[in-house]
Amino acid sequence: MDVVVALIVFVFACTGHLTGVMGQAMALVSLLAAYFLSIPAGRALTGLLVTRMGFGPSVGYLLGRALAGTLIYMSLACFAHALNRRYGLDEQGQMKPWNRRWGAALGAVKGLALAFLALCVLDAFQATVETAAPRAYYAYQRSLSRHVVSRTNPLAELSVVEDVKAIRAVASNPEAVARLQSRLNVAELLAHPKVKALAEDEALAEAIRSGNYPQVLTNGRVRALMEDEEVIALAQRLDVMKSIREVAVELKLNHK
């Protein structure tokens, strides 16, 4: 995985050398603008993807942001390309030396940022990646980059929604709870007062059913759960969340 990160940085540095710092800078500005502008635009698309197309809230949120951001970025990138041609080339249409050198440096930074974001997504959805792409999962677990990403991941909360859905579905289902009673760590987590409170929260249940991702994350009981060190320690024990998800799938619980 670390070799892949290094390769991405190298490729972006070469691309920056060819396109120049102006092209790289304007593309970066376009990317940042697309990221922030996609927040309000992505919310509308998230609701559509969740309610009309059946995606889960986390996946719908990611797809909505990605689609909105891509459309915004492409529009701004065309404008950036025109500016680069106007000011970054000499009279013969060749790249100016300073433009090329600084372009390589900025390209390397962009490649590193892109690799970091990709690893953040992988880190946030490790359970899904382990099932869908086990080689990528185990490569990430053995990489040096994991130690940096896991401590600084801004997307860490994205996996919270899926965990909350599964925990709430199992905690509110007597058959599921009975199945897991023999697994001490899991039973201890399900018996925790803050976990039981999730099963009783009708506002949270409605937010999960409607795919209201922001409301789930800002729910008071969810925040209290996320900030409780005892609950976090229980959930992080070996196979606890895996066992909960497996039972939720086996019983076909409606935890969307």
Q: List pLDDT tens digits, range 33-67.
A: 888 888 887 777 777 777 777 777 667 777 888 88
Please state the rounded mean pLDDT for residues 94-121: 87
Maximal C-alpha separation, the chain: 77
Same domain, yes or no, for 199 and 140? no
Same domain, yes or no, for 40 and 125? yes
Q: Is residue 201 classed as helix, strand or coil in its secondary structure?
A: coil
Same domain, yes or no, for 9 and 50? yes
Please state the rounded mean pLDDT for residues 194-205: 88
Q: How far apart are CA 203 and CA 209, in angstroms?
A: 10
Quote the domain boundaries for residue 207.
158-250
Same domain, yes or no, for 102 and 70? yes
Higher per-residue pLDDT: 213 or 71:
71
Residue 16 pLDDT: 85
Same domain, yes or no, for 140 and 209? no
Q: How far apart are CA 129 and CA 147, in angstroms?
A: 18
Check pLDDT > 70 for residue 15.
yes
**pTM score:** 0.53
Beta bridge partners of 95: 89
Same domain, yes or no, for 32 and 141? yes
SS (H, E, C) 24-55: HHHHHHHHHHHHHHHHHHHHHHHHHHHHHHCC
* Inside any domain, residue 21: yes
Q: Report whether 24 contacts 103 (CB < 8 A).
A: yes
What does the block give as tokens for 65? 């942001």
Same domain, yes or no, for 58 and 146? yes
| Average pLDDT for the chain | 82
Q: What is the pLDDT of residues 112-153, one digit of tens each?
A: 988 998 888 888 777 667 777 888 878 888 888 888 887 777
Please state the rounded mean pLDDT for residues 82-111: 82
Residue 122 pLDDT: 83
Residue 200 pLDDT: 87
Give how many domains the chain has, as a whole number: 2
Q: How far apart are CA 35 and CA 78, in angstroms?
A: 17
Contact partners, residue 189, CB within 8 Å, separation at least 6? 167, 195, 231, 234, 235, 240, 244
Higher per-residue pLDDT: 54 or 192:
192
Higher per-residue pLDDT: 12 or 28:
12
What does the block give as tokens for 189? 């987590």
Residue 6: pLDDT band (50, 70, 90) is very high
DSSP conformational letter for 254? -
Same domain, yes or no, for 7 and 131? yes
First to last CA, the chain: 33
Backbone angles phi, psi at 89, to 5 degrees: -115, 155
Question: 197 burial class (0-12, 13-18, 19+ CB within 10 angstroms)?
Answer: middle
Nearest in space to 198 (alpha carbons), one of 231, 175, 236: 231
* Inside any domain, residue 256: no
Residue 24 pLDDT: 77
Contact partners, residue 248, CB within 8 Å, separation at least 6? 166, 169, 170, 176, 255
Same domain, yes or no, for 33 and 119? yes
Check pLDDT > 80 for residue 103.
yes
Q: What is the pLDDT of residues 157-182, one digit of tens each?
A: 666 777 888 888 898 888 988 988 88
Q: What is the pLDDT of residues 176-191, one digit of tens each?
A: 889 888 887 888 888 8
Same domain, yes or no, for 12 and 134? yes
Same domain, yes or no, for 229 and 111? no
Residue 112 pLDDT: 92
Check pLDDT > 60 for residue 255.
no
